Structure 1
Amino acid sequence: MKAAPAAQKRLLDLAELDSVIDRLAHRRRTQPELAQIDELSARVARIATQVIAAETESGDLARDQTKAEADVDSVRIRAERDQKRLDSGQVSSPKDLASLQSEIVSLTRRQGDLEDVVLEIMERREAADAQVAKLVAERDELAGTRGVAEDRRDAAFAEIDKEKNEVQSRRTEVVKDIPADLLALYGKLREQFGVGAAMLQGGRCLGCRTSLSIAEINRIKAAAHEEVIRCEECRRILVRTAESGL
């Protein structure tokens, strides 16, 4: 492949700009806020699951309390009804009277037991509600911290993207000076090695940092200036400049 020496030298400018773009992409991928956001998101998700469990427990206890209170009301109504019958004097038979009095005592005892159940459920529900409030507050605090980290991430991304756009604009101008076939070769090598072209400096390839043999240097010296040279070691395009030592 042949290309004007000036076009080949533009590959060095292109490689430098691509290196900057790669560094910016690395900065974007490794922003410290990203790991912090992931950690906070995982913690928020875990606590959200705990909130659901606590709310479910509180809801179950609320239903249990409603049922227990209904049972208390049912027993109390029966006891009040029996007490009215007793107080009205409608029951005259000693046997029926004794049975009614026994039932009232039993219902009163049953009502007391059920009221104790209601109180126990109320205490458990209060504890469950307190746990829900605690978890919700913790979840919201973590979500707020995550939001701050996301704002920092977005600000960093905006700065990186702005710089990248500026570099991309400069890259577009450089590409205009490079023939299509040379640019295609550069792109292929960049995909393979990360860097598509390197300077030949002092008889050494700056791409792989390998010193060229005397025979290779003599071969390059004998090559036409328009000849596109490749490093025998790393296969990158070797760009000859005044610093090449040829």
Structure 2
Amino acid sequence: MKAEVRQQRSLLELAELDAEIGRIEHRAKNLPEQRALGEAQVGHREAGDRLAALRIALADIDEQVAKFEGEIDSVRQRGDRDRALMDGGTIDPKQLTELQHELDTLHRRQTSLEDSLLDVLERREELAADHQRVLAEVDDLQTMLSDAREVCEQAGAQLAHRRAESLSRRADLTAGIDESLLALYERQRSRGGVGAGPLQGRRCGACRIEIDKGELARIAAAPEDEVLRCPECSAILLRVTGSHA
């Protein structure tokens, strides 16, 4: 295939532009800002899970508090009834002894329940403090998450803008390249390789492999408008430098 040096120079510029687009797309898929956002999301989610667990624990402990308070109230009411009977003076000595024994038992039971309630209330106070601490942590992490999302969106938008500009330049550039030459370039790219690269001394600029002396001699002897291929990677080998003016 033949192609004017000017066309080959444009192809070199196209290869450089495609490499730039590739770098932009790679960065877009591997944004440090995206990783930071992911870490912020994980931190916020984990703190949210801890907060939810504390809320469940508080609800459970509130049930225990209500249960103890109900039992204490029931024991207190029974004790009040027994004392009222004793103060009424209408019971015999045997009943009086039984009521006194029951009051002693009720007193021990109430003391035990109140001690247990105190332990539960102390535990609740600790959980409530943890809840407030984690709630504040979640609020802080929410702010960090919002900031990280904004930074990530800005970085993504900047890359999208750069990519759009590069694609626009690419469209303008390809419009001036011979269809056959462009088709050859695109076929090479579609195989997963670099479409074209400059000859840099003895090395192909596309695959970075050194070309043997025999091939170099053949390349040097070829007319300047001859479209050459790298013997190693098959990329179009360009013996020109610079870009299309």
1:109 equivalent in structure 2? 108
Instruction: Could you tell me which runs of 5 or more consecutive residues in structure 1 were left unpaired when the two chains were aligned.
Output: none
Counterpart amino acid of residue 121 in structure 2: M
Contact 1:15-1:197 within 8 A present in 2 as well: yes
- The 2-side partners of 1:215 and 1:183 are apart by 24
1:149 equivalent in structure 2? 148
Contact 2:44-2:145 within 8 A present in 1 as well: no
Matched position secondary structure for 1:210: coil
The CA deviation string for residues 109-160 of structure 1, in whole angstroms up to 9 with x for no partner, is 2112211211111111111111111112122212322322222222222222
Counterpart amino acid of residue 35 in structure 1: R
- The 2-side partners of 1:223 and 1:85 are apart by 125
Deviation, 1:29, is 3.5
Query: What CA RMSD, in Å, does the superposition of the two structures yield over aligned residues?
Result: 2.6
Residue correspondence of structure 1 range 51-62 to structure 2 within 5 A: 51-62=51-62
- Identity percentage of aligned residues: 36
Counterpart amino acid of residue 50 in structure 2: Q
Matched position secondary structure for 2:197: strand
- The 1-side partners of 2:223 and 2:58 are apart by 85
1:90 equivalent in structure 2? 90
Classify 1:49/1:204 alpha carbon distance in 2 versus 1 (closer, same or farther; 3 Å): closer
Counterpart amino acid of residue 107 in structure 1: L
Are positions 1:206 and 2:202 aligned together?
Answer: no
1:78 equivalent in structure 2? 78
Deviation, 1:162, is 1.2
Report the count of equivalent residues: 241
1:18 equivalent in structure 2? 18
Classify 1:70/1:201 alpha carbon distance in 2 versus 1 (closer, same or farther; 3 Å): closer
- The 1-side partners of 2:51 and 2:193 are apart by 48
Deviation, 1:52, is 2.4
Deviation, 1:101, is 1.9
- The 2-side partners of 1:73 and 1:154 are apart by 59
2:135 equivalent in structure 1? 136
TM-score normalised by length of structure 2: 0.85
Deviation, 1:212, is 5.8
Are positions 1:38 and 2:38 aligned together?
Answer: yes
Instruction: Could you tell me which runs of 5 or more consecutive residues in structure 2 were left unpaired when the two chains were aligned.
Output: none
Counterpart amino acid of residue 152 in structure 2: R
- The 2-side partners of 1:161 and 1:173 are apart by 18
Are positions 1:185 and 2:184 aligned together?
Answer: yes
Classify 1:55/1:242 alpha carbon distance in 2 versus 1 (closer, same or farther; 3 Å): closer
Deviation, 1:61, is 0.8
2:163 equivalent in structure 1? 164
Deviation, 1:166, is 1.0
Greater RCO (CA < 8 Å, at least 6 residues apart): 2
Contact 2:209-2:232 within 8 A present in 1 as well: no
